[in-house]
Structure 1
Amino acid sequence: MATLERGLAVIRVLAEQPGGRLSRAELARTCGTARATLDRIAATLTHLGHLRAEAQDLQLAPRTLEFGNACLTASGLTEALGEPAHRLADELDESVSVAVPDRDGARFVVQCPRRRAMAVTFHIGDLLPAERCAPGALFAADWDDEAWECWRRRLEADPHATGFLALPPAPPHRGRRAAPIPGTEADFAARVAAARRTGVAVDDQLVEPGLVAV
């Protein structure tokens, strides 16, 4: 597993660079890996077609795309939950998504879209912050003190959830009365308390403008 994790770390660092390209020296320094180790990992990934070597630079190759949701597929969740989700979508004639808890976020593992005027911007495998989606409030109802503290630290460090790439900017709330800002601790705690009491959570444009979900 350690070898696999080091390889994925190299790919992750390259994915964060403009053009997916970095010199070997910079890559080793960013990954915190010895240059000799980095060269071995790069040789393996290049042989497999996931990287291209150009002089002293390494660049992501198109075959890297095959990693998308590989762990999710291997987990069996999508296969196990897909059929009942599609059946529910047929019965309701509404889009249905299934999410599972992932630390202080909600990871979507199944989507059954219906033809509508708008389509959601998040997809299978995407991670949304718990405070910006309906399932997050349900999951947080079972958090212990340690989980809440972890969430507060993340919220303090990144109040606008910019680290969640699938999340569009927070929607503006219009109207005479100012609505709670999505993601604030008071607003989220209130929604978590309601979800704990009723077993249901509502997303009223927390993810994106125009999207209302239960």
Structure 2
Amino acid sequence: MDKPLKVPPPYAIASVDNALRIATMLQLEGPLTVTEVAHRLGVAASTAHRLLAMLVYRDFAVRDADRTYRVGPVLELAAHSQSTAARLRAAALPHLHRLVDLLDESANLTVRTGATVRFIAGVESRQTLRVGSREGMVFPAHRTTAGLLLLADLPPDELQALYAGKEDQRPDMDALQADLARVRRNGFDLNEGRSERGVVAVGVPVRAPDGSVLAGLSVSMPGARYEKERLPALVGTLRKAADALERDLDAPPHE
């Protein structure tokens, strides 16, 4: 078995992690207030203010006249105010919060770009021992729960073309095809430590009206807390959340 791709640093610096998370939120969501940032990070408003002030100083953020903060020159080239990912994220966040309320495990929404996936939305569990936010993080698609759900939607020729000429990034295609066949058959994916050591994730696809897979909706938990007997219930809860998100995405926009 391959080694897990992501291993948290042994001496994580909370202030650095929080600053990076703020930068990701500003890039994916748009303007935020100090209060909103403090709530999302679970820190005091004074702490959020200091972090934002440093991001402004380094041009990662800009403070507007209405006291909101938005992406600065360093990030704005990659910011898309109403991109597909931004709209998908906005629609998904209420459902992620409900998943966390129901399961008390961290919930994520992930999209694919080529052979990688990016976590575009995440809500952390309130438990002391929990899987932290993955917002903004990028992983090889074949190593993640949502990545396999998204790859399973590709026709065989597109899948082969995706990895053509990428020998250094190319997975074992026979093993990948077997994984994708299992995902198609089951309609969900279970990831036990494939992406990160000690982390278990369960995910289901989020589909567009034409049936194509837009994203992967998943919950992540410490491996020590996962019980295989809970798998059907976890999948059922995720499926209901994905169905509700699909209905919201298919609904006409409010005037």
TM-score interval (norm. to shorter): 0.5 to 0.7
Structure 1: gaps (5+ residues): 1-59, 160-182
- Relative distance call for 1:190 and 1:124 in structure 2 (3 A) is same
State whether residues 202 and 212 of structure 1, in contact with CA within 8 Å, keep that contact through their aligned partners in structure 2.
Answer: yes
SS at structure 1 position matched to 2:139:
strand
1:157: how far off? 3.1
TM-score for the superposition, normalised by structure 2: 0.45
Distance 2:180 2:147 in 1: 8
1:149: how far off? 1.8
Structure of greater Rg = 1
Equivalent pairs counted in the alignment come to 131
After superposition, the C-alpha distances for 1:129-184 in whole angstroms (9 at most, x for unaligned) are 1111011111111112342123332651335xxxxxxxxxxxxxxxxxxxxxxx43
Where do residues 120-139 of structure 1 align in structure 2 (5 Å cutoff)? 120=132, 123-139=134-150
- Relative distance call for 1:86 and 1:154 in structure 2 (3 A) is farther
RCO comparison, higher one (Cα < 8 Å, 6+): 2
TM-score for the superposition, normalised by structure 1: 0.52
Q: Aligned to 2:186, which of 198, 203, 211? A: 198
Where do residues 17-166 of structure 1 align in structure 2 (5 Å cutoff)? 62=60, 63-67=72-76, 70-71=79-80, 74=83, 75-114=86-125, 115-117=127-129, 119-120=131-132, 123-153=134-164, 155-159=166-170
Which amino acid letter does the alignment assign opposite residue 194 of structure 2? L
> RMSD over aligned Cα, in angstroms?
2.7
State whether residues 72 and 125 of structure 1, in contact with CA within 8 Å, keep that contact through their aligned partners in structure 2.
Answer: no
- Relative distance call for 1:91 and 1:72 in structure 2 (3 A) is farther
Q: Aligned to 1:210, which of 198, 202, 215? A: 198
- Relative distance call for 1:73 and 1:109 in structure 2 (3 A) is farther
Percent identity reads: 25
SS at structure 2 position matched to 1:71:
coil
1:107: how far off? 2.2
